[in-house]
Amino acid sequence: MRSVALAVTDGMLHFELSLACEVFGSDLTHLVDPWYRFSVCGSGPVVVDRFRLEPDEGLDGLARADTVIVPGWADVDRDPPAELVDAVRAAHEAGARVVSLCTGAFVLAAAGLLDGLRATTHWAHTGELARRHPGVTVDPDVLYVDNGSVLTSAGKAAAMDLCLHLVRLDHGTAIANTIARRLVVPPHRDGGQAQFVRTPVPAPGNHPLAELLPWILARLDEPLTVEDLARQARMSSRHLTRHFKTVTGTTPLQWLHTQRIRHAQELLEGSDATIDAIATTTGMGTATTLRRHFNRTVGVPPDTYRRTFRTQERTGATV
């Protein structure tokens, strides 16, 4: 997905718009060459809150992009402009991967792209999205939903999660992690994680799991149980689960599973270790178990994942 076009019009949310510009519009050819070709597409000068934005080309440019991103739509009680809806629909019909950030989902829904699909938006507006578009299965409890050619995210920080997810799909885990470190954000929050997390990005040493999480990451190869984690944290299993929900938005075992899959991705991309060895290193036990969980989580078998990103490394191409 080499070209990314940002669809803009008056009334967009500047935070989500700027996230997309930062991730896809920055010159990161020192990391991956070629990086994305990025353009801003609108029918004319756009007022975004206190900012004025000059698009690079008209909305018809969306149909020439590999990926189209629709930022948050500020006034969800008002129908998005018909020209924007038509341009987004035309881009999808032309084969573009279409992505909404936050309430940009209302634009995708108006274009009919979410009919029959699962989707999400900011938790405060999921009810309205479901009411106005009954053909959409609205999930209020996730950070983002990946339907392949159509993706939607919840609000604010979840928009960054989805942007990094796209980079991970196109360029691999290592590059996504490098960008996350550059932006000082978590490298991977799973799309199925809950939206409303009291501490979505906990500061080091400032939450009850500050010492436990690094301890777990250093022992991914061990058969850890909730009881093991609770014992290490010096708390009951019930209290541990409550703290995990508060700090990470998920359960201890689901968080552990996500870290194991993420570590497997890194090893598949950056090492020649066999699938059996990676299964052992990541605590999956056997290659069969790793393949089953990896395929279910990532969407492709580990062997295919490795071939894809090894090919990219040799050619410098994106997927």
Return the residue matching tokens 């703290």: 243
Q: How far apart are CA 143 and CA 52, in angstroms?
A: 29
Q: What value does the mean pLDDT take over residues 47-58? A: 89
The band of 206, judged by pLDDT with boundaries at 50, 70 and 90, is: low
Q: How far apart are CA 248 and CA 202, in angstroms?
A: 8
Beta strands of 8-158 (E only): which ranges?
Answer: 37-41, 46-48, 51-53, 67-70, 97-100, 118-119, 137-138, 144-146, 150-153
- Identify the pLDDT of residue 314: 46
Q: What value does the mean pLDDT take over residues 218-232? A: 95
Lookup: tokens for 150: 């159509």
Q: Which is it for the CA torsion 225, 230, 236, 238, positive or negative?
A: negative
Question: Which is more confident, 182 or 313?
Answer: 182
Lookup: tokens for 116: 């029959």
Indicate whether 51 pLDDT > 60: yes
pLDDT in tens, 149-166: 999 999 888 899 899 999
Lowest mean pLDDT among 78-92, 228-242, 279-293, 295-309: 295-309
User: What pairing do the DSSP bridges indicate for beta strands 150-153 and 144-146?
Assistant: antiparallel
The band of 177, judged by pLDDT with boundaries at 50, 70 and 90, is: confident
Q: Which of 207, 211, 223 is nearest to 280 (CA)?
A: 223
- Identify the pLDDT of residue 43: 92
pLDDT in tens, 112-128: 999 999 999 998 899 99
The band of 80, judged by pLDDT with boundaries at 50, 70 and 90, is: very high
Lowest mean pLDDT among 25-34, 80-89, 127-136, 181-190: 181-190
The band of 288, judged by pLDDT with boundaries at 50, 70 and 90, is: very high
The band of 307, judged by pLDDT with boundaries at 50, 70 and 90, is: confident
Indicate whether 309 pLDDT > 60: yes
User: What pairing do the DSSP bridges indicate for beta strands 37-41 and 3-7?
Assistant: parallel
Is the link from the previous residue into 202 a cis peptide, with omega within 30 of 0?
Answer: no
Q: How far apart are CA 111 and CA 102, in angstroms?
A: 16
